[in-house]
Amino acid sequence: MAWVGRERRFSSIDVEAMKVSTGSERVRLEGLYVRVSGSSGQESSLGAQEKELRATSTGEIVKVFHDRASGLREDRPGLNRLLRAVTDGSVTVVRVTYEDRLARFGVGWLGHLLAVHGATLEVLHPKKLGGRDELLEDFVSLVTTFAGRLYGMRSADNRRRLLAESGQCHPGGGQ
């Protein structure tokens, strides 16, 4: 290695020497991540995702991490357990069926975070969109997510109102 101004320069011979395998390839310790948006039902979707990931596995499956929560939620118990497994080295490959199962947005950032800890992200069915199509898909996803939240808030308000009218709970939400 030599310094040239403020840059480091490496010889091509040294770089090639670093590429040579030591004979002990890293073991694939796979963490499978499956997620559905709803809190009830959809067990068949979780099962189908897990089955597909297991069928295409090429390493040792350490654990399957499950979540029943929106891909926009940052605090998901299954995802948090998966990230802890990556940081402690017990998972070296994170596998998902589609990248939106891992997160609706910010999958690139999660991939970089995994790489910092020596893990890789594998998406079984990667997106083939680009430019305008991808932007449109992101926009539709945002509108759908927020519309769902709005309707969920309205239905919760209506349930509270109906319970309050029937005398089963107080209007403030307490029982």
For residue 61, the model assigns a pLDDT of 96
Q: Which fold has domain 26-123?
A: Rossmann fold (3.40.50)
For residue 17, the model assigns a pLDDT of 59
Cα–Cα dist 107/77, whole Å:
17
CATH 3.40.50.1390 domain residues, the chain: 26-123
For residue 101, the model assigns a pLDDT of 92
pLDDT in tens, 101-135: 998 878 889 999 999 999 999 999 987 756 677 66
For residue 106, the model assigns a pLDDT of 83
- Alpha-carbon separation of residue 175 from 5, 156, 164, 169, 172 (angstroms): 72, 15, 9, 4, 9
Long-range contacts of 9-14 (CB under 8 A, 24+ apart): none
Neighbours of 99 (CB within 10 A): 19
What is the three-state SS of the chain? CEEECCEEECCHHHHHHHHCCCCCCCCCEEEEEEEECCCCCCHHHHHHHHHHHHHCCCCEEEEEEEEECCCCCCCCHHHHHHHHHHHCCCCCEEEECCHHHHCCCCHHHHHHHHHHCCCEEEECCCCCCCCHHHHHHHHHHHHHHHHHHHHHHHHHHHHHHHHHHHCCCCCCCCC
Neighbours of 152 (CB within 10 A): 10
Q: Name residues of the chain where pLDDT drops below 50.
A: 21-23
The predicted model scores a pTM of 0.63
